[in-house]
C-alpha cells in the first residue's frame, strides 16, 4: 500500500492519517488560529490563572507531528502541553473525547515529562481503530507514562466515570504541575454518531471529578458534533469543574 494515486482526495489521504481532512482555502489559517488559541490559553495558565477554557476549532487530538487526521490538522492540546513542558512544567493530559487521541499519544509516546491519559470508546469498534488499546503504555523512557482506558460502546455515565476515576488516580500518582483536559462532548447520548450514553448530569460529574484534582488547568475543546444538547453538555461540564 505504498502507491501515490492520481486522484486529489487519494493524494491528500496518502500524506495524512486518513482521508477525512478536507483541505480548502482558509484551512491553514483556521488551524493556526486554533493552535494559537490553545497557546494563548496556556500562557494564561502559566501566568497564574487557575483555569482557562480554549474553544479550539478545528480540533486537534488526532493530528500527529507530521500528519493530519480525523478532522484535525494541528494538535492544539499537544502544542500547549509541549509549550508548558519547554518552560519546565510537568504536564498531565486527560482526554475524555469518545474517540482516542491517537495523535496526542503518538507525539508523547516516548517521553516521560508529559503523562497522557485517555478515556474513550473501545477502538476495536470505533475510530481511530488502530490505537487506543489498554496495552499501549509508552515506549523507551516513556514506558508507563501513557494510559488508555477504553470503555465499551454505548456505556452510560457510570462506566465512563469509573474509567475516568482510574485516570485521575494515575494523574495524582504522576503529581503534575498542571493539567490539560482534552474535552470531547461526543460521548453524549444525543450525539448524532451515538457511541455512548452520557447525559448532562454525567458531564457535570465528569467536570467535578477532574476539578477535584485541584490543579492549574487548561481545557481544550476537542470533539462534539451538533446536537440539541451540545451547549448544555458543555455548560454542565464547566459548571461541574467550577464546583470543585
Residue-wise pLDDT tens digits, 149-163? 999 999 999 999 999
pLDDT attached to residue 114: 98
pLDDT band at residue 1 under the 50/70/90 scheme: low
In a domain, 13, yes or no: no
In a domain, 104, yes or no: yes
Q: What is the pTM of this model?
A: 0.95
Residue of higher predicted confidence among 41 and 18: 41
The answer, yes or no, to whether residue 231 has pLDDT greater than 90, is: yes
In a domain, 12, yes or no: no
Active site residue 61: no
Look up residue 230 and give its three cell numbers: 451540545
Domain that holds residue 174: 28-242
CA–CA separation, 183 vs 206, rounded Å? 10
- Number of domains comprising the chain: 1
Q: Average pLDDT, stretch 210-225?
A: 96
CA–CA separation, 38 vs 33, rounded Å? 9
In a domain, 148, yes or no: yes
Out of 61, 62, 99, 120, the active site residue is 62
In a domain, 46, yes or no: yes
The answer, yes or no, to whether residue 94 has pLDDT greater than 70, is: yes
Q: Average pLDDT, stretch 108-127?
A: 97
Q: What is the CATH number of the domain that holds 87?
A: 3.40.800.20
In a domain, 6, yes or no: no
In a domain, 11, yes or no: no
pLDDT in tens, 186-202: 999 999 988 999 999 99
Contacts of 56 (CB under 8 A, 6+ apart): 34, 35, 37, 38, 76, 220, 221, 222
Q: Is 21 left (phi over 0), alpha (psi -120 to 50) or beta?
A: beta
The answer, yes or no, to whether residue 244 has pLDDT greater than 80, is: no
Which among 145, 36, 130 is positioned nearest to 92, based on CA atoms? 145
- Mean pLDDT of all residues belonging to the chain: 95
Give yes or no for a cis peptide into 128 (omega within 30° of 0): yes
Q: Average pLDDT, stretch 218-222?
A: 98
CB 52 within 8 A of CB 10: no
In a domain, 4, yes or no: no
pLDDT attached to residue 220: 98
The answer, yes or no, to whether residue 9 has pLDDT greater than 80, is: no
pLDDT attached to residue 154: 95
Amino acid at each position: 500500500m505504498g502507491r501515490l494515486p492520481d486522484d486529489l482526495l487519494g493524494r491528500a489521504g496518502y500524506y495524512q492519517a486518513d482521508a477525512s481532512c478536507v483541505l480548502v482555502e482558509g484551512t491553514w489559517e483556521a488551524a493556526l488560529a486554533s493552535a494559537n488559541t490553545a497557546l494563548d490559553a496556556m500562557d494564561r495558565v502559566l501566568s497564574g490563572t487557575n483555569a482557562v477554557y480554549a474553544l479550539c476549532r478545528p480540533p486537534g487530538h488526532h493530528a500527529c507531528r507530521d500528519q493530519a487526521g480525523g478532522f484535525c490538522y494541528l494538535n492544539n492540546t499537544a502544542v500547549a502541553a509541549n509549550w508548558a513542558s519547554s518552560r519546565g512544567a510537568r504536564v498531565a493530559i486527560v482526554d475524555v473525547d469518545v474517540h482516542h487521541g491517537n495523535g496526542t499519544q503518538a507525539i508523547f509516546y516516548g517521553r516521560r515529562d508529559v503523562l497522557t491519559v485517555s478515556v474513550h470508546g473501545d477502538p476495536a469498534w470505533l475510530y481511530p481503530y488502530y490505537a487506543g488499546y489498554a496495552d499501549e503504555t509508552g515506549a523507551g523512557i516513556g514506558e508507563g507514562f501513557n494510559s488508555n482506558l477504553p470503555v465499551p460502546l454505548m456505556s452510560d455515565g457510570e462506566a465512563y466515570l469509573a474509567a475516568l476515576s482510574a485516570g485521575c488516580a494515575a494523574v495524582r500518582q504522576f503529581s503534575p504541575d498542571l493539567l490539560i483536559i482534552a474535552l470531547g462532548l461526543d460521548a453524549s447520548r444525543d450525539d448524532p454518531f451515538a457511541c455512548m450514553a452520557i447525559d448532562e448530569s454525567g458531564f457535570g460529574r465528569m467536570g467535578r471529578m477532574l476539578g477535584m484534582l485541584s490543579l492549574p488547568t487548561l481545557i481544550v475543546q476537542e470533539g462534539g458534533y451538533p446536537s440539541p444538547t451540545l451547549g448544555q453538555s458543555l455548560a454542565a461540564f464547566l459548571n461541574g469543574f467550577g464546583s470543585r
